[in-house]
Structure 1
Amino acid sequence: MSTVYNLKQEVEKPERLTGGHRLCAGCGAGIVVSGVLRALDKEDRAVVVNATSCLEVSTFMYPYTAYMDSYIHSAFENSAATCSGVEAAYNALKRRGKVEGTVKFITFAGDGGTYDIGLQSLSGAMERGHDMVYVCYDNEAYMNTGIQRSSATPPFARTTTTPVGSVGQGKKQNKKDLTEILVAHHIPYVAQTAPIGNFKDLHTRAYNAIYTEGPCFLNVLSPCPRGWDYPAARLAEIIKLAVDTCVWPLFEVEEGVWRLSYTPKKKLPVVDFLRPQGRFRHMFQKGNEWMIEEAQASVDQKWERLLERTGA
């Protein structure tokens, strides 16, 4: 599936995530949600399910909500199950002629509620084949509860539960490859994208996911200025560096066919992405050169594997 992207038409659509929410300046989550919801056709309605997260506590302060569409706050562990249940209820009502028009079902959750706590619920919903889109905004830690490590946290990153000191030098384990795990569910559409620097890519991947019948998954990079320790004004730069260093490559898998969405004109070294972030500052201390070398080798290996899969 593909759509013709017209920037003027897209920005003229009314916002489905209103201003006045309480997300931090320089947070990627609001841009992710706005971009995904903007991919909806004007005449279509949506039910948004949101797992407990930074996004939830910042956009839904009972009795107020920042969403123009129907909204459900779900627990950390069951947002996918909630969305799949609502989708099943909608289909039952539609068969009885009790609802009209098109309604789309979209779940938003952070990496803590996706990679970790909500993985079982997500896997079940995808396996059952519900017509829904699950969007993970990946900020690589449990930011809402104090910046604790998650299985999405990259190696060597400093968090409050993987501190830097005489005993440890950040997280020891590798980052879980959640996108590949979802591909292994053999669902119709999976994509990995980013919200800034390539609005067309986010829009296209979101549109494809929303208007592909069946369960679909989007993994979207969503930097956190507090957890990643960068100035708020550098959000766009951080995302672009993640993409151009191939730390966060952009690709889609449609009906099992892998396609690369973006190839950097010049693949930048991983240090360009690491250096602006305080969570990686210790990697540049004398004696820790091996950390940077290991990080670069890991990125290169994964990038080459992706090139092979996509035939690029």
Structure 2
Amino acid sequence: MTDISRRSVTNLSAIPKEEYIYRCTSACAGCSSSLCLRYVLKAAGPDSVLVVPACCTSVIQGIYPATAMNVPVYNVAFAAAAACASGMSEAFAATGKETNVIVYAGDGGTVDIGIQSLSGAFERGTNFLYICYDNEAYGNTGMQRSGSTPLGARTTTTPGGKPTSKKDLDRIVEAHNPPYMATACSAYPLDLYKKVRKALSIRGPKFIHILAPCPPGWRYPTEKTVEMGKLAVKTGVWVLYEREFGKLTINGPSKAAMRKPEPLEDYISGQGRFKNLSPETLDLMRQQVEQNIQRLAREEEGVC
């Protein structure tokens, strides 16, 4: 891995000013996944390569040679990102290079189509960082439901609301016992920056799962992206934590939310994808949020 600065970063002003993703992206207004990638690359630095399967980022980067990326990008097939990263990581190691190999993939290419190569790379102990930016649908092709789409959400293929719950990707990854895994959210860029830096300081397979609200897919005004991410955390829908060598630590913003979460309705009501949600579905969603909070709290306390 590249030499990552050891100086403490305690606020956004201390984050490096260098930019590795430029303003000429093809992202939608209010896109949080491109905001996340900006901080990911600031944390990783110039000696990094991105492996990007088919997803929104494939479009956001623009057309070569006039792309918005200032690091090498490998665009690969939907199912192949982790497999490509495995070969790339081994090739760099064989030539004595410590270049950061980072997969940056959407939920469709991670939770569904790419999960087999992700599992294989983690089983082999590949030295890389896999990042899933999760907008909870196949955003690049019109917001069809994915395995990451939450219960009750309306998509182009679930116009009446998704009847099943979101696949628990994090527990699937946890079962592989990676040395480091974490959750993050686009509304908390400093938290994301620190987690990427920590991940890249550890050898072996690492995983970061980012909640990336999507204005056109979730159907909220473009200026509400940061607010929507914060509501996800404050209501307990999305818990920020990191698991380092098996030990779980719940991070600051979620610590407060777990003690006294804001009403789930505050998060749901601002999104058109949850329009006409039935009271029964809302109750079930609330139960799932509470159960997940309790499970993580028990794990952090060491109570099985």
TM-score (norm 2): 0.92
SS of residue paired to 1:151 = coil
The residue that corresponds to 1:311 in the other structure is 301
The residue that corresponds to 1:167 in the other structure is none
> Would you say the 8 A contact 2:36–2:189 is kept in 1?
no
The residue that corresponds to 2:3 in the other structure is none
The residue that corresponds to 1:139 in the other structure is 135
Q: What is the Cα deviation at residue 142 of structure 1?
A: 0.5
> Would you say the 8 A contact 1:3–1:204 is kept in 2?
no
CA distance in 1, matches of 2:132, 2:112: 12
Aligned in 2, Cα 1:3/1:120: closer, same or farther, shift over 3 Å?
Answer: farther
> Would you say the 8 A contact 1:269–1:296 is kept in 2?
no
CA distance in 2, matches of 1:229, 1:186: 36
Q: What is the Cα deviation at residue 66 of structure 1?
A: 1.6
The residue that corresponds to 1:48 in the other structure is 50
- Contiguous gaps of at least 5 residues in structure 1: 165-169
Q: What is the Cα deviation at residue 25 of structure 1?
A: 0.7
Q: Find 1:183's aligned residue among 163, 174, 189.
A: 174
CA distance in 2, matches of 1:60, 1:125: 28
SS of residue paired to 1:87 = helix
> Would you say the 8 A contact 1:245–1:273 is kept in 2?
yes
Q: Find 1:227's aligned residue among 217, 223, 230.
A: 217
The residue that corresponds to 1:38 in the other structure is 42
SS of residue paired to 2:207 = strand
The residue that corresponds to 2:234 in the other structure is 244
> Would you say the 8 A contact 1:35–1:195 is kept in 2?
no
Matched, 1:72 2:74: yes
The residue that corresponds to 1:289 in the other structure is 279
The aligned length equals 293
Matched, 1:172 2:163: yes
CA distance in 2, matches of 1:46, 1:131: 13
Residue identity opposite 1:78 in structure 2:
A
CA distance in 2, matches of 1:289, 1:3: 50
Matched, 1:22 2:18: no
CA distance in 2, matches of 1:63, 1:149: 33
Q: What is the Cα deviation at residue 23 of structure 1?
A: 0.5
> Would you say the 8 A contact 2:82–2:130 is kept in 1?
yes
Residue identity opposite 1:267 in structure 2:
P
| Aligned-pair identity (%) | 40
Give deviations 1:112-170, integer Å, cap 9, x for gaps: 00000000011111111111000000000011111110000000000111112xxxxx1
Matched, 1:264 2:269: no
Q: What is the Cα deviation at residue 38 of structure 1?
A: 1.1
Q: What is the Cα deviation at residue 3 of structure 1?
A: 6.9
Give deviations 1:281-306, integer Å, cap 9, x for gaps: 111xxxx2112111111101111111
Q: What is the Cα deviation at residue 264 of structure 1?
A: 2.4
The residue that corresponds to 1:156 in the other structure is 152
